[in-house]
Amino acid sequence: MVAVRASGANILHADLDAFYASVEQRDDTRLRGRPVIVGSGVVMAASYEARACGVRSAMGGGRARMLCPHAVWVPPRMEAYAEASKQVFSLFDDVTPLVEPISVDEAFLDVSGSVHLFGEPAEIAAKLRTRALVEVGLPLSVGAARTKFLAKVASQQAKPDGMCIVPVDGELEFLHPLPVEVLWGVGPVTATKLHDHGIDTVGDLAGANGAELGGFLGPHAGRHLRALAHNRDPRPVDTTRRDRTMGAQRALGQKVRTREELRREVLG
């Protein structure tokens, strides 16, 4: 099922905050308010208390321990995270059938057909946040906007544990002062190129010459980023979307491994 795009700020992006670490803090009261790192050799997730020290997902354990020596390390419990995700997604399903999962801890929701039942998008977002906290025990940040892109930007601006509603008549006023790094497709390399050309904010990019952007970013990337800078994102919430990849990781530590040992790990 694919949603029909409505004219209002009816797209929600709901994102659980520091998901794995939040589950650990929920289930063990001793961890609440303390820096928590999920993982062993590599950081799988970090609580906001650990993030305040500079710890980030996918960071090596040695670096994380140096940045946050007082952090509590806990092994991952994937079954607990899967169950928590299932509970939160059931809350989404209570609001609308138009839910597009992005990962175990975030999704887009189109609530354009739900407002006559549950109120305006801001009311729906507030109720979802309350239910996630009361019924599942997890903080949920929600952004609402007319497009998927802007809804995700709004939820990121609302973190941690907040809500941000972007009115249709204030989209560019909200978007343009933000740094270019909020745009999908702007990683460290692209950001450096943009900054080198004096483009620091989304507004700078929106006003940039398209041909010049294409010259140093490539024509496709230039068009894509300029479209986002003007909040042009026609993609609807798509419930037919399914994950197309699977991944797994295991830290091998510092021990020297034989070729056969490495072969078994890669095949596994």
What residues are labeled active site? Answer: 106
Closest to 155 measured CA to CA, from 142, 138, 173: 142
Alpha carbons 70 and 75: distance in angstroms, whole number: 16
Number of helices and strands in the chain (H, E):
13, 8
Region of residue 14 (phi > 0: left; psi between -120 and 50: alpha; otherwise: beta): beta
Token readout for 50 is 């650990």
- For residue 107, the surrounding DSSP H or E stretch is strand 106-110
Beta bridge partners of 37: 46, 73
The residue assigned the tokens 């507030």 is: 126
Alpha carbons 78 and 56: distance in angstroms, whole number: 19
With H, G, I as helix, E, B as strand and everything else as coil, classify residue 200.
coil
- Measured CA to CA in angstroms, residue 194 lies from 156, 157, 197, 209, 229 at distances of 21, 21, 5, 12, 13
Alpha carbons 158 and 127: distance in angstroms, whole number: 16
Alpha carbons 255 and 252: distance in angstroms, whole number: 7
